[in-house]
Amino acid sequence: MRSHYCGALSTINIDETVTLCGWVDRRRDHGGVIFLDLRDRQGIVQVVFDPDTEEHFKRADSVRSEFVLKVTGRVRARSDATVNAAMATGQIEVLGKELEILNAAATPPFQLDEYTNVGEDVRLQYRYMDLRRREMQERLILRSKITSAVRNFLDSEGFLDIETPILTRATPEGARDYLVPSRTHPGQFFALPQSPQLFKQLLMVAGFDRYYQIAKCFRDEDLRADRQPEFTQIDIETAFLDEQEIMAITERMICGLFKTVLDVDLPTFPHMTYAEAMERYGSDKPDLRIPLELVSVDDLMQQVDFKVFRGPADDPAGRVAALKVTGGASISRKDIDDYTKYVSIFGARGLAWIKVNDIAAGVEGLQSPILKFMPDEVVAQMMERLGAADGDIIFFGADRAQVVNEALGALRIKVAEDQGLVADGWAPLWVVDFPMFEEANGGWTPLHHPFTAPSCDAAELVASPGTALSRAYDMVLNGTELGGGSIRIHKRDMQEAVFGILNIDETEAKEKFGFLLNALQYGAPPHGGLAFGLDRLVMLMTGSSSIRDVIAFPKTQSAACVMTNAPGDVGAEQLKELNIRLRQTREEVEKGE
Ligand code: ASP
């Protein structure tokens, strides 16, 4: 139908007759001449109809916003006075000769150029309209460029794109499963994959050696913090490569991607241990653009009587840490109160602080409600350790180490954002040497997933699960975990040992993971891989603030689709066929019966 995209026209096309198809972005009537801004995925061009072409002029007069048109006309240069520098095609316009209305449009539910005033629910309900906006088009176009660059890289490195099932058994990644009832096996359910983890491992057992898939994953989580119940991973697995080789190849992939798509040269990724990341940043995904760091002062606080500090300092599971904010002495009491509220979200019971007014004056030059509880020598030693200078503020966390790390780790980011201390650019790193397990409800749970290999042998692992490290690695960029993976367990006895530590007894292990345990005894090669969160990667690369903005049809915070009204009710007949009887209907649940 068309000869050119609207947005692709330029002065090169002057005097050409072109046929365009697109939507009416704007229509203006200027003294007997009609201007139509015609829009397609490449951009907008101005089309002018004058009364010479009577029939088409009349039709142009009748069109409204978002009508779909086919227009034929001649490209001409705009006069100097009418050149529009703000428009990519602003040097030219099309003198319309023929206009066909391919379809009319009802008045749009919201102005496409005033989207910011529209609630997200409305945007999601009319997503096909929202997606017509330039910004959204650009994001999805970039997303497509990203997946294509990733595919090109992986194809060129000998990776094979292999699909894995969506109807499957539970694949534990720490979330709830989405279940699908089986009609042919009454009373039984499939689970949607939380990731292709076990299948990709089995592909290594099968000898495919290098696998990838741009895979949908499903996790039924409480949708805090910008998550989606279904999301996309760039899922990768390899055999016969160790962690250094896997990190190197995927680092090259990400660097190449940034170069191809954004023309950005990423720096070499430093490797940091989990322990160091927690110690210095209170987080296993530190944002290295922020110059602030946590400093432990437990040893000093063991010398004070102040219980709030002394208790955690003496407790092996406790931590007392300081966060010095350069130039932060100007932070007001009200802001400190707000920060105190903020850290309470993470369980901190207060936020002690010291302002440094005149470091040369010793304790006299400091201002703080807690100074009276500390001997002057301790304060002096602390100031020296922190390298405190005039104009600084120092915040403190004292509690269980986990609370201190979470609270000060989050405060570090918040204060840096408020004070304009976040540097521009990209700060990637690898975090390595994670613990195998963390304590939960009196038992152990895996920090990654139960198929991650430890860096010790099975006997050592069983003897001290709490201190064992794993062969896992996470790629972090600007404080966001872009991806993570590990070397896997490839021997049955080790896998059984890990199940044992996780309190999965033999019967349960056989029931749930019998196929994996079996496969491990038929010549499973050493293997490992990782997965990148594609949505998060696209969000960072497009500078978007939510993953919903880089997914064509995302779900709301309550895991629903307001456009299709999913999830929806199911008729009695269909339920019967599935051998399902509802304990309560939706109406009853809503009424709270
Ligand atoms: N399956 C893991 C995940 O979804 C990634 C991996 O270990 O490869 O987080």
Q: Report the candidate in 76, 56, 69, 70 with the shortest Cα–Cα distance to residue 16.
A: 76
Compute, in angstroms, the gap from residue 424 CA to the centroid of ligand 1: 30
Q: Assess contact for 319 and 404: CB atoms under 8 A.
A: yes
Ligand 1, atom nearest to 237 Cα: 8
- Whose C-alpha lies nearest to ligand 1, atom 1? 197
Compute, in angstroms, the gap from residue 203 CA to the centroid of ligand 1: 15
- Whose C-alpha lies nearest to ligand 1, atom 4? 195
Q: Assess contact for 229 and 564: CB atoms under 8 A.
A: no
Reduced DSSP (H G I as helix, E B as strand, rest coil) percent helix, strand, coil of the chain, to 5? 35, 25, 40
High-pLDDT (> 70) share of the chain, %: 99
Compute, in angstroms, the gap from residue 196 CA to the centroid of ligand 1: 8
Ligand 1, atom nearest to 233 Cα: 4
Going 557 to 559 to 562 to 563, the CA torsion angle's sign is positive
Which of 235, 432, 527 is the best mutation target for the ligand 1 pocket, counting ligand atoms within 8 Å of the beta carbon and taking the most?
235
pLDDT of residue 190: 97
d(CA 166, CA 221): 18
Compute, in angstroms, the gap from residue 557 CA to the centroid of ligand 1: 23
486 CB under 6 A from ligand 1?
yes
173 CB under 6 A from ligand 1?
yes
Compute, in angstroms, the gap from residue 452 CA to the centroid of ligand 1: 9
Element (H, E) at 61: helix 54-62
Ligand 1, atom nearest to 236 Cα: 8
Ligand 1, atom nearest to 530 Cα: 8
Which of 164, 192, 197 is the best mutation target for the ligand 1 pocket, counting ligand atoms within 8 Å of the beta carbon and taking the most?
197
pLDDT of residue 171: 81
Q: Assess contact for 430 and 273: CB atoms under 8 A.
A: no
Q: 3-class secondary structure for 428-494?
A: EEEEECCECEEEECCEEEECCCCCECECCCHHHHHHCCCCCEECEEEEEECCEEEEEEEEECCCHHH
Compute, in angstroms, the gap from residue 256 CA to the centroid of ligand 1: 22
Ligand 1, atom nearest to 485 Cα: 7
Compute, in angstroms, the gap from residue 531 CA to the centroid of ligand 1: 5
- Whose C-alpha lies nearest to ligand 1, atom 7? 485
529 CB under 6 A from ligand 1?
yes
Ligand 1, atom nearest to 486 Cα: 7
Q: Report the candidate in 340, 299, 320 with the shortest Cα–Cα distance to residue 401.
A: 320
pLDDT of residue 114: 62
Compute, in angstroms, the gap from residue 231 CA to the centroid of ligand 1: 13
Q: Which residues of the chain have pLDDT under 70?
A: 114-116, 223-225, 593
pLDDT of residue 423: 97
pLDDT of residue 113: 76
452 CB under 6 A from ligand 1?
no
pLDDT of residue 53: 87
Ligand 1, atom nearest to 200 Cα: 8
CA trace torsion 433, 348, 397, 293 (10° rounding): 50
483 CB under 6 A from ligand 1?
no
- Whose C-alpha lies nearest to ligand 1, atom 8? 530
Element (H, E) at 155: helix 134-156
pLDDT of residue 44: 97
For residue range 50-106, list pLDDT tens digits in order: 998 889 999 999 999 999 999 999 999 999 999 999 999 999 999 999 999 999 999
Q: 3-class secondary structure for 526-549?
A: CEEEEEEEHHHHHHHHHCCCCHHH
Ligand 1, atom nearest to 235 Cα: 8
Residue 422, SS3 per DSSP: coil
197 CB under 6 A from ligand 1?
yes
Ligand 1, atom nearest to 197 Cα: 1
Tell me the one-letter amino acid at 266.
L
Encoded tokens for 506: 């033999």
Residue 237 pairs in a beta bridge with 211, 529
257 CB under 6 A from ligand 1?
no
